[in-house]
């Protein structure tokens, strides 16, 4: 049960990072201006979420493998 809780926590964390990175990639700075602009582009959020989902799955496999081998740091 502790492993499942840790996997859910990792997934939520990586998803929030993916949304933040996606929004960060949409912020641009116009040359010669002191303003930052947000150009809404859903494909950037989509690709950031795909990357964060892939990372969450890979970290989940690593944690599961460590947990299966009774590694003490699997749930840290």
Domain that residue 10 falls in: 2-68
Residue 11: inside a domain:
yes
Residue 41: inside a domain:
yes
Q: Are 14 and 57 in contact (CB under 8 A)?
A: no
Neighbours of 70 (CB within 10 A): 7
Tokens, residue 42: 């859903």
Tokens, residue 30: 């116009």
Q: Are 66 and 73 in contact (CB under 8 A)?
A: yes
Q: How many domains does the chain have?
A: 1
Q: How far apart are the C-alpha atoms of 69 and 21, rounded to whole Å?
A: 34
Side-chain-facing half-sphere of 33: CA atoms under 13 Å: 7
Residue 74: inside a domain:
no
Residue 73: inside a domain:
no
pLDDT in tens, the chain (76 residues): 788 898 999 999 999 999 999 999 898 888 888 888 888 888 988 999 999 999 999 999 999 998 888 887 777 7
Residue 9: inside a domain:
yes
């Amino acid at each position: 049960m502790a492993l499942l809780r840790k996997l859910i926590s990792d997934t939520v964390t990586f998803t929030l990072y993916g949304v933040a990175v996606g929004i960060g990639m949409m912020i641009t700075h116009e040359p010669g201006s002191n303003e930052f602009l947000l150009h809404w582009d859903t494909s950037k959020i989509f690709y950031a979420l795909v990357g964060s989902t892939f990372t969450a799955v890979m970290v989940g496999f690593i944690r599961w493998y460590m947990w299966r081998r009774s590694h003490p740091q699997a749930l840290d």
